[in-house]
A = this chain, B = another copy of it.
């Protein structure tokens, strides 16, 4: 495992990593499959934290958009939001910068074993990807087949093709074989849990 150093010379060890390293001593397999109960979002947040700490990329999940209606300001306490509503996001969930490139992506899970249903996406996400691609952004989805424990980085360009063709072809999902052909498989690792930047490199080189 590579040692990570902060600019101040201190070694950086995320809490999760410490726990994982202790676990490694116990049983190696337990660690590699330790992510099974972890939601994709948590795995990506931890991976992004690692990428930031090691100065490899700056990527964040955007906050959930909320329309705030009523706020209370109790004395000597912090403001409490008393009434608010979830809003429809206009964009995808993740974006950031990696070696001068703009990254933009969405993360999705499925329990299906053979295909990924397109109904997991929304028109506004497709539109957002199209706009970002026009600006030469690197756009993709990270799809996790939970039952298979397989992860793919899949180009937004391919997603858009399937999205636009679903009416004419009647195909409401993307086959696993298509992920194997046009996507880039990501193997779970210890640090970061989801080393997706390797797949981003492949996408850029492609």
In the bound complex, do residue A83 and residue B82 qualify as a contact, i.e. CB atoms below 8 Å apart?
yes
Chain B residues positioned under 8 Å from A145 (CB to CB): none
Q: Which of B62, B63, B83 contacts A66, CB < 8 Å?
A: B63
Bound Cα distance from A80 to B132, whole angstroms:
32
Chain B residues positioned under 8 Å from A131 (CB to CB): 52, 55, 58
A98 interface residue, CB < 8 Å from B?
yes
A118 interface residue, CB < 8 Å from B?
no
Chain B residues positioned under 8 Å from A64 (CB to CB): 63, 66, 68
Q: List residues of A (41-75) whose CB comes within 8 Å of B's CBs.
A: 52, 55, 57-58, 60, 62-66, 68
In the bound complex, do residue A128 and residue B58 qualify as a contact, i.e. CB atoms below 8 Å apart?
yes
A79 interface residue, CB < 8 Å from B?
yes
Min distance, Cβ A98 to any Cβ of chain B, angstroms: 6
A102 interface residue, CB < 8 Å from B?
yes
In the bound complex, do residue A90 and residue B135 qualify as a contact, i.e. CB atoms below 8 Å apart?
no
In the bound complex, do residue B90 and residue A60 qualify as a contact, i.e. CB atoms below 8 Å apart?
yes
Bound Cα distance from A66 to B82, whole angstroms:
12
CB closest residue in chain B, given A57: B135
A160 interface residue, CB < 8 Å from B?
no
A101 interface residue, CB < 8 Å from B?
yes
A84 interface residue, CB < 8 Å from B?
yes
Chain B residues positioned under 8 Å from A97 (CB to CB): 102, 104, 132, 135-137
| A-B contact list, 11 entries, CB within 8 Å | A58-B135, A60-B91, A63-B65, A64-B68, A66-B66, A81-B86, A95-B95, A97-B104, A100-B101, A100-B136, A102-B102
Name A residues whose Cβ lies closer than 8 Å to a Cβ of B.
Answer: 52, 55, 57-58, 60, 62-66, 68, 78-87, 89-91, 95-102, 104, 128, 131-132, 134-137
